[in-house]
Structure 1
Amino acid sequence: MTTMSSTQTARKASLDLYRAVWRWHFYAGLLVLPFLIALSLTGALYLFDDELDALIHSDLKRVEVQQATQPAASLVSSALREHPGTAVKYTSPATPESSAEITVNALTGERLAVYVNPYTAEVLGALDDRGTVMWTVRYLHSFKFFGQTPRKLIEIAAGWSILLVATGIYLWWPRNGRGGVVSVRGKPKSRVFWRDLHAVLGIFIGGFIVFLAITGMPWSGVWGGQVNQWANGNNFGYPTGVRVEVPMSNAYLSDQGSTSWSLEQARVPESTPPAVPAPRIGLNNAVAQLEALGLQQGYSVNLPTTAAGVYTGSIYPDDLTQQRVIHLDQYSGEPLLDMSYADYGALGRWLEFGINVHLGQEFGLINQLFLLAVCIAIIVMCVSAGVMWWKRRPSGAMGVPPLPADKRVFRGLIALLVIGGVLFPLVGASLLVMLMIDWLIVRPLQERRPARQG
């Protein structure tokens, strides 16, 4: 009798825990699945950003290879003749078939990317700066397209995605030798087919969802900014090993264009104007100096626009080891600061590696194709969750999973949620909101109308 009672108690406790985990898995899915689909679609496209931009904007980005290229200053002059204003950046052709890109603050008030044939100095056309199709896809992926406030949803979605995977693994865990663990049973008309499809896909790609969520966090508004400051040690931006005693401006490298995550708070040095007026080295000499220092083709050069400005050469290629930023004094041409990926701190190097894999860059085509398969699997998994829910839900109800008989089972789960909320503040705030909705609205409704148990 005692043994039977103990067995029944254990089964009841197990069922209560299962229901509690299922309930929060449902809530996590309710919040996250639309974001996962949107992020997977835009992410799958952005994996092939260079290839797609070269195809879509081939009239601007592709040129016929000829024998000799024109000096950088001549290309800038051609761009300014067509689009008068101030040139602020020169980007060298990445390949012999690529055009040069000149960023111009036009007199009309626009910031333009002007594409120039490096062999003939012919202006091929212009777009708004970061106006290519793939820049639009990137802004959609990061929600930057919708402003700073909606971008915070990315941080929330990432945190809930981790919760979704953790609870999903518990629900998937084999019990009593049932099927549907690594194979899909039934046919598409049956709910078990969609349940198995969802569970099997989830267990195979769950780790990659967590990886993508964590490596996407550095771009988030709250968590990413705080970790960036902590990783750099202070608001100076450069790792300790490369801090040098040179005058620093109040401008940040990220203000001048795209940079690596580790250098978003890096301040730009200042040139020291000579006591006796002297000529500036000019773009052609700056380019020659940067190339002599080993910058790969495809580098960008931010041009000085003030007497204390510097020439900043930078390159962020797929190969992390080749990332580099060099600031040159505009009068002497001397390097004021020269930093590569090897100079980043340990946390910075780890995060940059994760970001590079996230972008599909670290391992070339294999990286791109593998993450494309993961994105497709995530979309299928999300669709199967929707179909499974639709087939399960009671008529006229949301189909929130049933309440555990013993509410104390939530204590351990809520403790884990609190820990996650402390690590990720926006996620914690959203968890509190969801808890209030669950306790004050959903639970009373379910207690008045018992939920379907299947």
Structure 2
Amino acid sequence: MVNTTLSAAGAASRSSDLYRAVWRWHFYAGLIALPFLILLALTGALYLFRDEIDGFVHRDVMTVEARTSAPAAPTVLVAAALAAHPGTVFKYVPPARPTASAEVGIKTPAGEKMSVFVDPYDRRVLGEIPDKGTVIWIVRQLHSLSYFGPVANGVIEIVGGWTILLVGTGVYLWWPRRQAGDRQGGGVVSVRGRPTQRVFWRDLHAVAGIFAGAFILFLAVTGMPWSVFWGSYVNKWANGTNYGYPAGVYVDVPMSDLRLSEGGPTSWSLEQAQVPQSSAPGAAHGSGHESGHGSGHEAAHGSGHEAVHGGAGGGAAGAGAIDLDAAVAIFDRLGLAKGYAVNPPAGPTGVYTGTVYPDDLSRQRVVHLDQYSGKPLIDMSYADYGPFGKALEWGINVHMGQEFGVANQVVMLAVCVAIVLMAVSAAAMWWKRRPNGSLGVPPMPRDRGVMRGILAILAVGGIVFPLVGASLLVMLAFDWLVIRTPRTRRA
């Protein structure tokens, strides 16, 4: 009987020590992650409604009155933009709908990039915005901390790793135990007490966390591919061979040293994709140039070819190349989803590149055209990605609130609200339990050996995510200093 009692007491002591160890590292994870998670939640909530917000804030340049007359040719709209803002065209976005303006990306002689918006019906320049200067683009840069430089962007990777730890330890702490105070689901699925009581904030934190935890874990994992260190190296490993294209898509055409990501935002799976080169003019003319001309090239030449490829357009394309009108006509004929962007050739061997990344993943597409023949050199869509690329792109699409329409936006908005609630409730219950003159770190387990198992798990995460591992070493040093520092705890 005595042995049974001692065994039960030992088990209870080990359970209590494990709880303390988990609680301690949950506290540390929250200390690191929660301040940033508030920023991520607020900016993420805004980004979910990027089209609506940008459409409203910039409606004076992005929206026009629909008319029965046909829109002007792309070369004419580009010429109008260049007349107002001389420079070199690096992007053209045809109107995605009858009430949308055309967007012309121009690089000025001073090296500044801007987006000029033109009414497609009357060719009137509506205004300009600095390239990547829309409200939502700034929100996106804040969300990734890229706004503050690559070092700050690396912090997001660290936060992602600690968030995974935060969720894992939080689930353990939430797990129902037979305690008198937790009867009838109190603190498990319902909130007890009043805001003046610590139990209210503890329960609010726990309940919000358990309902949103799986989603928060999903957001942390799917955000990792965009991180500055881990994401970039994994991307190079996953997509660094075969010119960055999945097997079966690459064809035997000359490739340049340019990456698709250098021309503008692209999908994660195509960041390492190299841009092909156009064939020499003579070869191009002999291998289908006439067919390219047969798709409306003559009409395009009659509507302003010299305005684009001459001085107004910067002279980027080679002599005898098809113009923007012909390229847009080919992209339309190939069925690129509305809202696609066109990057004109960068020099005599450059290509016309059409890219579109709509909410519908199945319509993601990248097409490179030979600038002389108009022949598609590479035509790739989401269906061509490998299993790893498809899974990551699907996760990113859900992360951004796109995959399931309005329902996706609403669910992710609820998760963002839950994150803010958890951060506020964590701060409130810490404030109510904090000892005077101390950070209020949860107590160490009596048996320090319990920490070894926790640290082993943390070490695995640190190996998978090196920046997280480096931050873990810093926190271990901090923990050692905290242990060494005498402090008074509340009873």
User: What RMSD over aligned residues (CA atoms) do the two structures have, in Å?
Assistant: 1.2
Contact 1:172 1:181 in 2 (8 A): yes
1:452 and 2:453 are equivalent in the alignment: no
Number of the residue aligned with 1:214: 221
State the alpha-carbon separation in 2 of the partners of residues 120 and 312 from structure 1: 27
Number of the residue aligned with 1:443: 483
C-alpha distance after superposition, 1:288-337 (max 9, x if no partner) = 11111111221110001300010001111000000000000000100110
State the alpha-carbon separation in 2 of the partners of residues 329 and 407 from structure 1: 67
Number of the residue aligned with 2:462: 421
Structure-2 change in CA distance of 1:235 and 1:427 (3 Å):
farther
1:343 and 2:343 are equivalent in the alignment: no
C-alpha distance after superposition, 1:159-179 (max 9, x if no partner) = 000100100111111111523
The CA deviation at 1:449 is: 2.9
Contact 2:26 2:169 in 1 (8 A): yes
Contact 2:38 2:423 in 1 (8 A): yes
The CA deviation at 1:222 is: 1.1
C-alpha distance after superposition, 1:133-168 (max 9, x if no partner) = 110000000111001111000100000001001001
Normalised by the length of structure 1, the TM-score is 0.97
The CA deviation at 1:451 is: 3.0
1:274 and 2:275 are equivalent in the alignment: no
State the alpha-carbon separation in 2 of the partners of residues 146 and 125 from structure 1: 28
State the alpha-carbon separation in 1 of the partners of residues 349 and 85 from structure 2: 26
State the alpha-carbon separation in 2 of the partners of residues 161 and 89 from structure 1: 38
Q: How does 1:250-269 map to 2 (within 5 A)?
A: 250-269=257-276
Structure 1 stretch displaced more, 104-113 or 162-171: 104-113
Q: How does 1:24-423 map to 2 (within 5 A)?
A: 24-67=25-68, 68-177=70-179, 178=182, 179-232=186-239, 234=241, 236-275=243-282, 279-423=320-464
Structure 1 stretch displaced more, 52-61 or 231-240: 231-240
Structure 1 stretch displaced more, 194-203 or 92-101: 92-101
Structure 1 stretch displaced more, 106-115 or 73-82: 106-115
Contact 1:402 1:452 in 2 (8 A): no
State the alpha-carbon separation in 2 of the partners of residues 112 and 2 from structure 1: 79
The CA deviation at 1:278 is: 5.8
State the alpha-carbon separation in 2 of the partners of residues 250 and 226 from structure 1: 19
Counterpart residue identity of residue 451, structure 1 = R
Contact 1:401 1:451 in 2 (8 A): no
State the alpha-carbon separation in 2 of the partners of residues 71 and 20 from structure 1: 67
Counterpart residue identity of residue 423, structure 1 = V
Sequence identity of aligned pairs in percent? 60
Counterpart residue identity of residue 41, structure 1 = L
State the alpha-carbon separation in 1 of the partners of residues 280 and 127 from structure 2: 36
State the alpha-carbon separation in 2 of the partners of residues 402 and 262 from structure 1: 45
State the alpha-carbon separation in 2 of the partners of residues 282 and 361 from structure 1: 34
State the alpha-carbon separation in 2 of the partners of residues 385 and 14 from structure 1: 23
Contact 1:229 1:235 in 2 (8 A): no
Contact 1:99 1:118 in 2 (8 A): yes
Contact 2:438 2:487 in 1 (8 A): no
SS at match of 1:304: coil
Q: Gaps spanning 5+ residues in structure 1: where?
A: none
State the alpha-carbon separation in 1 of the partners of residues 165 and 325 from structure 2: 53
State the alpha-carbon separation in 2 of the partners of residues 287 and 309 from structure 1: 16
SS at match of 2:489: coil
Number of the residue aligned with 2:19: 18
C-alpha distance after superposition, 1:214-243 (max 9, x if no partner) = 111011011101211222252721111111
State the alpha-carbon separation in 2 of the partners of residues 201 and 378 from structure 1: 8
State the alpha-carbon separation in 2 of the partners of residues 196 and 234 from structure 1: 50
The CA deviation at 1:401 is: 0.3
SS at match of 2:353: strand
Structure 1 stretch displaced more, 276-285 or 78-87: 276-285
SS at match of 2:91: strand
The CA deviation at 1:108 is: 3.1
State the alpha-carbon separation in 2 of the partners of residues 268 and 385 from structure 1: 49
C-alpha distance after superposition, 1:65-107 (max 9, x if no partner) = 0121010111111110000000111011122111111000112
State the alpha-carbon separation in 1 of the partners of residues 159 and 396 from structure 2: 17
State the alpha-carbon separation in 1 of the partners of residues 422 and 379 from structure 2: 46
Counterpart residue identity of residue 33, structure 1 = L
Contact 1:399 1:452 in 2 (8 A): no
SS at match of 2:241: coil
State the alpha-carbon separation in 2 of the partners of residues 297 and 205 from structure 1: 35
1:430 to 471, 487, 491: 471
Contact 1:162 1:213 in 2 (8 A): yes
C-alpha distance after superposition, 1:237-258 (max 9, x if no partner) = 1111111110001111110111
SS at match of 2:244: coil
The CA deviation at 1:450 is: 4.8
State the alpha-carbon separation in 1 of the partners of residues 479 and 489 from structure 2: 14
State the alpha-carbon separation in 1 of the partners of residues 126 and 442 from structure 2: 59
SS at match of 1:95: coil
C-alpha distance after superposition, 1:331-377 (max 9, x if no partner) = 01001100000001110010000000111111111111111111011
Counterpart residue identity of residue 13, structure 1 = R
Number of the residue aligned with 2:312: none
Contact 2:435 2:488 in 1 (8 A): no
Normalised by the length of structure 2, the TM-score is 0.90
The CA deviation at 1:4 is: 1.2
Contact 2:242 2:250 in 1 (8 A): no
SS at match of 1:70: coil
State the alpha-carbon separation in 2 of the partners of residues 278 and 205 from structure 1: 58
Contact 2:341 2:354 in 1 (8 A): yes
SS at match of 1:307: coil
Alignment size in residue pairs? 450
